[in-house]
Amino acid sequence: MSDYSSIPVVIPCGGMGTRIREASDRLPKPLIEVGGHPILWHIMKIYEHHGFRRFVLPLGYKGDLVKDFFLNYRQRKAKSMTVLLTDDAGPTFHDVKIEDWEITLVDTGQETGTGGRIGRIAEHLDEESFALTYGDGVADIDLTALMKTHQAHDRLATVTGVRPTSRFGELRVEGDEVRSFNEKPELDSGLINGGFFVFDRAFLEYVSPESGMLESDALPKVVADDQLAMYRHEGFWQSMDTYREFLSLNSMWDAGTAAWKVW
């Protein structure tokens, strides 16, 4: 495992999850649970597996719930605790193993775009590079290989390219007879943004606290300056953008086939 313990990992947590209201009506999207854990936790575990431990979470919609989750994290994880009602020091937790994470939570506004959220946490991005991913997608991605690809290409930014999966079943037919049925085939329509990025700190010149969306504002400018490289990920990748995808990820976890569980 590589030592990326000093490199900040940015996971924007400000989205409302409007297309997954069945699961997120009372929660910010990153706190929607897969297998009893927020999808945010799954993403952080993937990064931890590759040696990352510093996380910066720009907050927006229902950000107080994200703060509460981590403030009460030890209590949630503990199998037992002892409480002395006359002691102001708080409870003593037993049989609890806590991840060695440093988590910085920053309120970046309700309506701020992803580019603006990055601009508003710039002071916490104090290393030569930082990683970034969305708070709703998981993968069995080799983050060490992603980091090495970024370093080798000598660009300000590297994006992970993945192949999208169709939401509809694919039929292979001969005449009027079906010869095969593939429920969720990978499409041959090219690569899409898989949401796992690496940026040099100099990328911050492309964003400000008032920037719009990262994808439509800053990244096109980076491309125009020939400063965006790509890392190709051929393995498992799945976003949780819809209620159907929420159910699918939970089914994988329950069945023991969660490919993103690399830890």
State the burial class of residue 237 (Cβ atoms within 10 Å of its Cβ: 0-12, 13-18, 19+): buried
Q: How far apart are CA 94 and CA 80, in angstroms?
A: 5
Confidence of residue 94 (pLDDT cuts 50, 70, 90): confident
Please check the confidence at residue 184 and state whether its pLDDT lies above 70: no
pTM: 0.89
Q: How far apart are CA 185 and CA 154, in angstroms?
A: 34
Q: How far apart are CA 230 and CA 191, in angstroms?
A: 10
pLDDT single digits (tens) 104-149: 999 999 999 999 999 999 999 999 999 999 999 999 999 999 999 9
CATH of domain 8-161+190-255: 3.90.550.10
Parse the chain into domains and list their residue ranges.
8-161+190-255
Alpha helices in 154-227 (DSSP H): 219-224
With beta carbons less than 8 A apart as the criterion, state whether 31 and 66 touch: yes
pLDDT, averaged across the chain? 89
What mean pLDDT do residues 180-189 have? Answer: 55
| Least confident among 26-30, 38-42, 45-49, 248-252 | 26-30
Question: Is 80 in a helix, a strand, or coil?
Answer: strand
- Helices 39-49 and 143-153 pack at an angle, to 10 degrees, of 70
What mean pLDDT do residues 221-239 have? Answer: 95
pLDDT at 91: 86
Question: Is 163 in a helix, a strand, or coil?
Answer: coil
- DSSP class of 53: -
Give the amino acid at 65: L
23-47 as b/e: b if 16+ CB within 10 A: bbeebbbbbbbbeeebbbbbbbbbb
